Structure 1
Amino acid sequence: MNRMQRSVVDKADFKVADQCLRRFGLRMPSSKNTSPVNYPKNADYAGWLGPRDVEKYGYQGPPGMRDEAWAAQDGRRAFIIPSNIDAAYTGLGKKVVKGIKVPDGGCANEAERALNVGTPSPDGSGAAKPRDHKQMLGLMDSASEVAFKDPRLTEVDERWSMCMRGRGYSYSSPDRAENDPRWEKEIDPETRRHAVTSLEIKTAVADEDCRREINYFGVRLAVYADAQNRIIAANRDKISRLQTLMKIRYANARKILGLRPE
């Protein structure tokens, strides 16, 4: 499912949840962003620093980037659930709101059920349950676990470390450089961002140069592709059902939004 299709599904989810909440005299927050997520989906897997614009922002990237990177996984941005809709939306706590019974799992699950009409469960046991589609993310995590054990990652980290030593920096891996505690000394509690120092920027620029020089991104992508292929080979039936689930959810979303079938 591409970013545009994921956005359509998110908009349909929002619409059904909002219609559900209206029964309680409530509404989804107007700040809920359902536009397509443009952040490169595999940037973090590849260790690509391009979206961070390190010459200006250091390792933390521009404002909002981390949230976009997280949303790129399934195309849906997180949002803060206002306290006034929490019980009706999540289905947790109160079972009756304003004298009206809350649907099982709240309005969030009502939206999921609308999207899942006619979809198969990933294990083939029957109809899909709310958020069954997120099992695809679990398979992606499994591929990551396989990839992290690949000796090619250790080897490319060593080459990167040697390159950085030639530029006057001592780190065993890019992860150590990104998470150097010196970068996190002054964090604004409201923005969750830290003050970027000249040292962080210089380090991040040298880091990005070294990653390019040794083809760090290419090696990591190759490793992850191999790991993903191993997970696919071991879960072909499940992945096939998940692909069908995603296609039907998208078709259902178009119906919900009054769009013509593709």
Structure 2
Amino acid sequence: MAALAGAVTALGLVGCAAVDGRKEPDAQPARPSVPAVPDPGSLRLPVDRYLLDDRQLILRAKAGQRFLSRCMRGFGVDFPEHLTSQPARPRAAHVERRYGLADLRRAERTGYDLDDRATPPKPSATLTSDQLTVLGGSAKGAAHRTVKTFRGKSLPEGGCAGELSRLFRDAHVDNKLLQRIDLAGFSSISRDARVKNAHAAWSACMKRRGFSYAEPLEPAKRFIGAGTSPGEVATATADVTCKQATNTVGIAHSVDVETQTAMINQNLGRLEETGEIKKAQLEIIDRILAR
């Protein structure tokens, strides 16, 4: 059933102090300045190299549907079309929102509302007994009893969904490590002195515009779910304008990248297989869709 579920639901302010032109003995070398971010939606993180991007996820969903349909037809059972789903959130939107709202046009249009949600999935329908058996490899009403044959034909372990998961080698992807790297990068943002300085500059900018917030994630918490209002749009517009003026997003992203890169370099051996699996998955997707 785990395989069935998997088929259904297919992240430059530190300088050197100087006195009379001389460095202090404990001064740290200056970090390179952080470039501004012209398009927050284009931001990418080191961990992304091991993940399928938005386009690739959509293609995988299509390939998975085609594979399952062919597999189930081989047993004389129709594929339940309503099970096909698209990624819940675009990866680019996830990265942008990681640092708070950063798109000025979106802020001016909808404030903090998430107008980039994917189309909601179609309501699920009840699977027939035959569909459940062939798709998931278990008999309806007996989740712990596996079915090895169906209508005289040998059924793959875990049904067609299990066969698909094995084809993509999903069980061999080190998702726990990828999640740790992703979370470590995000968590490092709030602790870094460069980010704290940037947040202070952002807060001062907001105060000059008539808004009192200590850090960039606060405004969204106030307005999310309340319905877009003129006050929300004004706050969001000032928020993004101040982020751009203080390069808050660029600095946060640089810290995120720094942390993730260090963790990836420490785990290159463990991630090598995951990287190879991604390449293999893309080849499999192309092969399925080409038939």
Same topology, TM > 0.5: yes
Residue correspondences, number: 226
Residue equivalent to 2:44: none
Match of 2:199 among 143, 148, 157: 157
When structure 1 is superposed on structure 2, of 202-211 and 101-110 the one drifting more is 101-110
Residue equivalent to 1:57: 110
Q: Contact (CA 8 Å) 1:160, 1:210: kept in 2 or not?
A: yes
Shift in CA distance, 150/21, structure 1 to aligned 2, threshold 3 Å: farther
Give me the whole-angstrom Cα distance separating, in 2, the residues matched to 1:114 and 1:167.
56
Give me the whole-angstrom Cα distance separating, in 2, the residues matched to 1:115 and 1:51.
39
Report the alpha carbon displacement of residue 133 of structure 1 after superposing the two structures with TM. Answer: 5.5
Match of 1:203 among 235, 239, 247: 235
Match of 2:288 among 233, 245, 256: 256
Give me the whole-angstrom Cα distance separating, in 2, the residues matched to 1:148 and 1:19.
49
* TM-align CA RMSD: 3.7
Match of 2:251 among 215, 219, 238: 219
Give me the whole-angstrom Cα distance separating, in 2, the residues matched to 1:132 and 1:15.
26
Match of 1:184 among 225, 237, 253: 225
Residue equivalent to 2:81: 28
Shift in CA distance, 111/28, structure 1 to aligned 2, threshold 3 Å: farther
Q: Contact (CA 8 Å) 2:173, 2:277: kept in 1 or not?
A: no
Give me the whole-angstrom Cα distance separating, in 1, the residues matched to 2:221 and 2:163.
40
Q: Contact (CA 8 Å) 2:172, 2:274: kept in 1 or not?
A: no
Report the alpha carbon displacement of residue 40 of structure 1 after superposing the two structures with TM. Answer: 5.1
Give me the whole-angstrom Cα distance separating, in 1, the residues matched to 2:105 and 2:137.
38
Residue equivalent to 2:21: none
Shift in CA distance, 228/130, structure 1 to aligned 2, threshold 3 Å: closer
Report the alpha carbon displacement of residue 134 of structure 1 after superposing the two structures with TM. Answer: 7.3
Q: TM-score when scaled to structure 1?
A: 0.69
1:78-227 equivalences under 5 Å are: 79=121, 82-85=124-127, 88=132, 94-95=142-143, 100=150, 104-105=157-158, 107-116=160-169, 129=171, 132=174, 136-180=178-222, 182-185=223-226, 195-227=227-259
Q: Contact (CA 8 Å) 2:104, 2:237: kept in 1 or not?
A: no
Report the alpha carbon displacement of residue 213 of structure 1 after superposing the two structures with TM. Answer: 0.6
Give me the whole-angstrom Cα distance separating, in 2, the residues matched to 1:109 and 1:78.
26
Q: Contact (CA 8 Å) 1:133, 1:245: kept in 2 or not?
A: no
| Greater Rg over alpha carbons, structure | 2
Give me the whole-angstrom Cα distance separating, in 2, the residues matched to 1:51 and 1:40.
14
Match of 2:275 among 230, 243, 259: 243
Match of 1:45 among 98, 101, 113: 98
Query: Which structure 2 segments of 5+ residues have no match?
Result: 1-51
Residue equivalent to 1:192: none
Shift in CA distance, 246/196, structure 1 to aligned 2, threshold 3 Å: same
Give me the whole-angstrom Cα distance separating, in 1, the residues matched to 2:86 and 2:225.
29
Give me the whole-angstrom Cα distance separating, in 1, the residues matched to 2:202 and 2:101.
14
Report the alpha carbon displacement of residue 227 of structure 1 after superposing the two structures with TM. Answer: 1.0
The AA in structure 1 aligned to 2:225 is: E
2:260 is equivalent to residue 228 of structure 1: yes
Shift in CA distance, 146/39, structure 1 to aligned 2, threshold 3 Å: closer
Shift in CA distance, 109/137, structure 1 to aligned 2, threshold 3 Å: farther
Give me the whole-angstrom Cα distance separating, in 2, the residues matched to 1:28 and 1:130.
27
Report the alpha carbon displacement of residue 46 of structure 1 after superposing the two structures with TM. Answer: 4.2
